[in-house]
Structure 1
Amino acid sequence: MATELIPPALPAPLLPVRTERLMLRAVLPSDGAAIGAYCASPEVTRYLPFGPLDAEGLRERMERMVAGTAPSVPGEMLSLAVEHEGVLVGDLMLRLAARHGPQDPPAIGELGWVFAPEYAGRGFATESARALVDLAFTHYPLHRLMAQLDPRNLPSARVCERLGMRHEAHTREDFAEQDGTWGDTAVYGLLRREWEARR
C-alpha cells in the first residue's frame, strides 16, 4: 500500500520582526480586547469575509490567531499582531497554499491585514505588510504571494500596489456577502523574482 508523502515541517519564523515604527509579533490571548474592539466595527469589517464579530466570533478568531505561530504545510496560517509604541494597532495574516496538493510543500502565500480605524492613514498597513512580504519570501519556499479583496476596498488596493503587487484579476459576484448579496473579488499577485528585483 502506498503511503502519502508529507512535506517536511518548516521551522517557525523568528519573531518579533521590527520595522522603523512597528513590531510584528505572535498574537497573544491578552490581545483579544484590542482585536475585538476593531473587529466589532462595521466600518472595519465592511469589506472583510466576516461581519462585525460578537463574543463567540471573536473567541473563534482569537483561537485561530493565537495558534497561528508556526505554519508549515498548506492550509496553515501565520498570524501577527502589529504594535506601535506598545499599542496593538492591527493584525496580519499569511496563509500557505500548495502548487498542487496538500502533500506538496507550500508554494503560494495569501496575505491579509486588518487595522484599527483610528490608526488609518499613517502607513502602518503598508509598512507592516512589506515586512510580512519579506518574511514570507525569506523564510518560506514560496513562488508567489497573493491578496484577495473587495474591489471597493481602495485603501487595501493601494497597499497592494505599494507592495509591488499586480492587479491580476477581477472576478464578478463570486463572494456571498453577509447581507445575502453577491460581491466581486480583486486579486493581486507578486512573484518571488519580482520581489527579488525590487530588493
Structure 2
Amino acid sequence: MPSTDAPDLRLPYDANILFDAPLRTERLVLRPLAESDRWDVWEYQRLPEVLRYIPWPERTREEGFAHTAKRAGLHRLERDEDALFLAMGLVGEPTTSPDAPDRAHGGDRVVGDIMLRVTSVQHAQLEIGWVVHPGFQGRGLAVEAARAVLGLAFRDLRPHRVHAQLDARNEASARLCERLGMRREATLLEEEYHDGEWEDTAVYGILRREWSAAR
C-alpha cells in the first residue's frame, strides 16, 4: 500500500562537514572529492572499461583534471539537479599523486567516487551513482561505500526514494543495486546514444521505509 507520508527532504545539506568528520567503513574513508584527488581519479577516468558504461567522453589528462576540479567544487544540495561527489579513499593504499603530502605515509588512494544528486525536491527524490577503478573491483568496496552513503542519505536527508540509473549491460552495477536492497523498476529502451550505438538504461530504486525495514 502506498505511503501517505508527506515529502520530508531535509535540505539544504552542506557536505563540507564531511571533510572534518568523514564517513568511515571497514576499509574506506568517504569525504568530499577534492581537486588534489585529480591524479587518482585520472587513473580510472581514462580507462576504456570505465568509459564503456559511464557516458564520459575521452579526455586528455588536462581535461580530466579540470573535470575533477569541477566536481570537487560541488558540496551543497539545495535544489533540483544539485549534486555532490564523495571520494572513496582506500585506507593504507598509496596514492598515485606525485605531490600529495601524505604519499610517503601510504595513502589513502582514491579508488572511486560516489554521487548523490537531487532529482526532485518537491517529491523528495535522490539519485545515487558510483564509479570504481576496475583494478579494485571484486573486493566489495563499492557496496561498502554505497551502503554508507545510502545510510547517510536516508538518515540525514530523509528522501522518500533513492534511485540509480545505469547502463543496462552493466551487470556488476546491477548486482550492486540488488545487494543494496534496490529493485529493478524499469528498463528504458535505447534511452541514450553513446559510442555510436543506442543504449538501454536500467532504473533501480528503494523507498525510505524499505531501507528502514531492512535494518
Smaller-chain TM-score bracket: 0.7 to 0.9
- Structure 2 distance, partners of 1:143, 1:196, is 11
How far apart are residue 159 of structure 1 and its match? 0.5
**2:68 counterpart of 1:62:** yes
Percentage of identical aligned residues? 44
Q: 1:3: which partner in 2?
A: none
Q: 2:53: which partner in 1?
A: 47
- Structure 2 distance, partners of 1:113, 1:137, is 17
How far apart are residue 77 of structure 1 and its match? 0.5
How far apart are residue 54 of structure 1 and its match? 2.1
RMSD (Å) for aligned C-alpha atoms = 1.8
**2:118 counterpart of 1:96:** yes
The aligned amino acid for 2:85 is S
1:111-132 CA-to-partner distances (Å, cap 9, x unmatched) read: 1111111111000000000011
How many aligned positions are there?
187
Q: Where does structure 1 lack aligned partners over 5 or more consecutive residues?
A: 1-6
Among 181, 184, 196, the alignment partner of 2:200 is: 184
- Structure 2 distance, partners of 1:56, 1:114, is 20
How far apart are residue 158 of structure 1 and its match? 0.6
Q: Is the 8 A contact 1:36 1:53 kept in 2?
A: no
- Structure 2 distance, partners of 1:36, 1:196, is 36
**TM (normalized to structure 1)?**
0.87
- Structure 2 distance, partners of 1:47, 1:11, is 29
- Structure 1 distance, partners of 2:126, 2:63, is 25
How far apart are residue 8 of structure 1 and its match? 8.8
Q: 1:143: which partner in 2?
A: 160
How far apart are residue 93 of structure 1 and its match? 0.3
- Structure 1 distance, partners of 2:10, 2:189, is 38
Q: Is the 8 A contact 2:158 2:208 kept in 1?
A: no
Q: Is the 8 A contact 1:34 1:88 kept in 2?
A: yes
**2:79 counterpart of 1:73:** yes
- Pair 40,138 (structure 1): closer, same or farther in 2 beyond 3 Å: same
Q: 1:195: which partner in 2?
A: 211
- Structure 2 distance, partners of 1:136, 1:95, is 10
Q: 1:152: which partner in 2?
A: 169
Q: Is the 8 A contact 1:42 1:51 kept in 2?
A: no
How far apart are residue 24 of structure 1 and its match? 0.2
How far apart are residue 67 of structure 1 and its match? 1.3
SS of 1:48 mapped into structure 2: coil
Among 39, 59, 62, the alignment partner of 1:33 is: 39
1:149-179 CA-to-partner distances (Å, cap 9, x unmatched) read: 11111110011000000001011111111x2
Among 110, 130, 135, the alignment partner of 2:127 is: 110
How far apart are residue 33 of structure 1 and its match? 0.7
**TM (normalized to structure 2)?**
0.81
